[in-house]
């Protein structure tokens, strides 16, 4: 088939909501966009283990400890599905990890903020995972088959993550004055970075239009952000806490909450590497990889020896 | 030097706390790998073991708390008061479990040495004197069998992998072996008349199983005249223990009486 016909078939499939599968022909730029997005997503899961991992040894009860460990472990599992989904597009996990470590590939900037108190475990679950879910529910219907299927599995676990985060904050909000203060402080610190998770405004988002045309994305950054604000503005009432935005107000005409302007200077500064923990997060990943090199080499050497024995036998 | 927890002299309670502490502290150490494992699949595997050990510790603490409260209804013990409110000298975990996680060789070897012991011990507990403890042992063993399998496979890979991995396993053996005898020296609360188990007699089978894997991994079994360190079972710990508790108990100590 000529490229033109293949391209037509590809677009017909997209229009007819038929998933694009690894062996199907696809435009090079569609492949690249998916690799970029899926790997960025995978890296976010893996780097995202670090801020929460920071509190595992200090979790305040055995039950909370068990839930937190299980949650961070789920993130490792999500990273694994997503690396596998990216690999179906013809790139190896080693290459993907190399791109993360070299700084070429990005991960979600939210994980460049520090986790300073136990309440941050709650705020991450509620706000960060809450924002992620809004994005991921949309991605369950993304046009690339392996990515969509990975997202269906991931979404099931993410809703548990959000609930456990809310539960942590709920407990704090009903607790001592010190716990209430800890809860409000965490919300204050995580609210704006969570809004930034949806990316630049539509007008400043270079990839958005094409991604929507290809049905990789189904909603724009601003639409998703609005959904998130509407959801959280209601949930925060249950906690009896406030969101740190004086401009947050229900707009009856729009049937949405209005909210204040994001600090875009901070957004771009953190994306470009100058958030509070950018260097530490990347260094932690690089260290784990380098310190594990001898382990991976040993496993490989051992497997090779066993293989040779089998051949001889 | 003591809290109210030192007043629980009942041997079964002390024994349960010993079993629980050992699993909790090993879980605490293993949890340090979460997010830092040598490869993603193994990060997940060690975290599974971390969760298993934590779950076992919880069952044991819960049972201990139930017995304490039955004896003394105003005690109000829970799994958390036992795990978080005791002093360093009141923890009874094996010294082996509190040592730093080290490199992957140390973590693997420690898990292997402990899991083989746990498998033998908990198998005996199935027929021990206490039915509730037998039920906990039965549930735990399903997990322990996997821990033995997983850690044995890694001992083989590392021992018989590359010269570097072999050397690291030799170092790990050198640093851990001296803490193994403690498993088989019965504390007062571990006496056969109380538990129904002669822990000393488990050593021979443990050594047989451990030696078989070490030999297959081309590693020399350390000589039996090595001096053996003890103390954990009676609360005389290594210098590492205080730091573990500083982390573990931080929030409970900073905000007394808070619910989480």
Q: What's the whole-number mean pLDDT along residues A44-65?
A: 98
- When scoring A59, A65, A72 by the number of chain B Cβ atoms within 10 A, the one with the most, hence best to mutate, is A65
Going by C-alpha positions, the residue among B132, B181, B144, B111 that lies closest to residue B16 is B132
CB of A296 within 8 Å of a chain B CB? The answer is yes
> Which chain B positions have a beta carbon within 8 Å of A291's beta carbon?
38, 103
Residue B247 gets the label, from left (phi > 0), alpha (psi -120 to 50) or beta, of alpha
For the stretch B151-209, pLDDT in tens is 999 999 999 999 999 999 999 999 999 999 999 999 999 999 888 899 999 999 999 99
Residues 16-55 of A with CB under 8 A from B: 46, 49-50, 53
Using CB atoms within 10 Å of the CB of residue A188, give its burial: 0 to 12 exposed, 13 to 18 middle, 19+ buried: middle
What is the value of pTM for the model shown?
A: 0.96
For the stretch B208-218, pLDDT in tens is 999 999 999 99
DSSP 8-state secondary structure symbol assigned to residue B220? P
Q: Mean pLDDT score of chain A, rounded to an integer?
A: 95
CB of B163 within 8 Å of a chain A CB? The answer is no
For A62-79, the DSSP string reads: HHHHHHHHHHHHHHHHHH
What's the complex ipTM? 0.97
Using CB atoms within 10 Å of the CB of residue B95, give its burial: 0 to 12 exposed, 13 to 18 middle, 19+ buried: buried
Q: What's the whole-number mean pLDDT along residues A226-233?
A: 98
Query: Do the beta carbons of residue A186 and residue A122 sit within 8 Å?
Result: yes
Radius of gyration of chain A (CA): 21
CA dist A71 and B125 (Å) reads: 32
CA dist A183 and A241 (Å) reads: 8
Helix (H, G, I), strand (E, B) or coil at A251: strand
Best CATH choice for the domain B10-254 from the list 1.20.1260.10, 3.40.1030.10, 1.10.1840.10, 1.10.1660.10 = 1.20.1260.10
* pLDDT of amino acid B8: 85
Residue spans per domain, chain B: 10-254
A178 versus A212: the higher-pLDDT residue is A178
Using CB atoms within 10 Å of the CB of residue B221, give its burial: 0 to 12 exposed, 13 to 18 middle, 19+ buried: middle
- When scoring A78, A302, A303 by the number of chain B Cβ atoms within 10 A, the one with the most, hence best to mutate, is A302
Q: What's the whole-number mean pLDDT along residues B45-49?
A: 98
DSSP 8-state secondary structure symbol assigned to residue B232? G
Q: Mean pLDDT score of chain B, rounded to an integer?
A: 96
* pLDDT of amino acid A207: 79
């Amino acid at each position: 088939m000529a490229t033109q016909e293949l391209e037509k078939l590809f677009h017909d499939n997209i229009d007819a909501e038929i998933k694009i599968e690894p062996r199907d022909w696809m435009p090079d730029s569609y492949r690249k966009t998916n690799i970029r997005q899926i790997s960025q997503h995978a890296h976010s899961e893996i780097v995202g283990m670090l801020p929460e991992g920071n509190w595992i040894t200090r979790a305040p009860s055995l039950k909370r400890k068990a839930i937190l460990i299980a949650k961070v472990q789920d993130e490792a599992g999500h990273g694994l599905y997503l690396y596998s989904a990216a690999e179906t597009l013809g790139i190896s996990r080693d290459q993907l990890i190399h791109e993360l470590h070299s700084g070429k590939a990005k991960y979600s900037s939210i994980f460049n903020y520090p986790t300073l108190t136990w309440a941050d475990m709650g705020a991450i679950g509620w706000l960060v995972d809450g924002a992620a879910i809004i994005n991921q529910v949309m991605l369950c219907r993304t046009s690339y088959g392996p990515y969509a299927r990975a997202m269906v599995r991931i979404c099931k676990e993410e809703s548990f993550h959000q609930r456990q985060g809310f539960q942590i904050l709920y407990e704090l909000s009903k607790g001592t004055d010190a716990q209430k203060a800890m809860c409000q402080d965490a919300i204050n610190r995580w609210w704006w970075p969570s809004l930034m998770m949806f990316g630049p405004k539509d007008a400043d988002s270079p990839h958005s239009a094409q991604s929507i045309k290809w049905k990789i994305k189904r909603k724009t950054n601003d639409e998703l952000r609005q959904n998130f604000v509407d959801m959280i503005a209601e949930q925060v009432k249950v906690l009896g806490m406030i969101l740190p935005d004086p401009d947050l107000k229900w707009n009856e005409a729009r049937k949405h909450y209005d909210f204040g302007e994001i600090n875009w200077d901070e957004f771009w500064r953190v994306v470009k590497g100058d958030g509070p923990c950018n260097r530490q997060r990347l260094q932690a990943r690089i260290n784990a990889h380098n310190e594990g090199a001898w382990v991976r080499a040993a496993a490989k050497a051992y497997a090779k020896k066993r293989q040779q024995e089998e051949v001889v036998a | 030097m003591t809290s109210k927890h030192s007043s629980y002299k009942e041997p079964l309670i002390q024994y349960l706390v010993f079993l629980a502490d050992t699993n909790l502290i090993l879980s605490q150490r293993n949890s340090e790998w979460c997010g830092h494992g040598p490869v993603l699949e193994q990060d997940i595997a060690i975290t599974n073991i971390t969760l298993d050990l934590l779950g076992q510790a919880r069952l044991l603490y819960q049972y201990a708390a139930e017995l304490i409260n039955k004896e003394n209804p105003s005690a109000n013990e829970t799994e958390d008061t036992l795990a978080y409110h005791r002093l360093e000298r009141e923890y009874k975990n094996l010294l082996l479990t509190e040592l730093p996680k080290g490199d992957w060789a140390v973590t693997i070897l420690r898990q292997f040495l402990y899991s083989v012991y746990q498998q033998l011990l908990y198998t005996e507990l199935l027929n021990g004197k206490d039915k509730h403890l037998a039920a906990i042992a039965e549930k735990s063993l399903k997990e322990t069998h996997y821990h033995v399998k997983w850690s044995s496979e890694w001992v083989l890979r590392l021992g018989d992998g590359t010269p570097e991995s072999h050397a690291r396993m030799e170092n790990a053996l050198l640093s851990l072996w001296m803490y193994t005898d403690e498993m088989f020296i019965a504390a007062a609360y571990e006496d056969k008349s109380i538990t129904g188990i002669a822990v000393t007699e488990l050593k021979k089978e443990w050594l047989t199983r451990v030696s078989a894997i070490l030999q297959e991994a081309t590693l020399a079994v350390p000589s039996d005249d090595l001096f053996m360190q003890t103390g954990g079972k009676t609360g005389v710990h290594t210098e590492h223990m205080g730091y573990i508790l500083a982390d573990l108990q931080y929030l409970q100590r900073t905000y007394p009486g808070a619910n989480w």
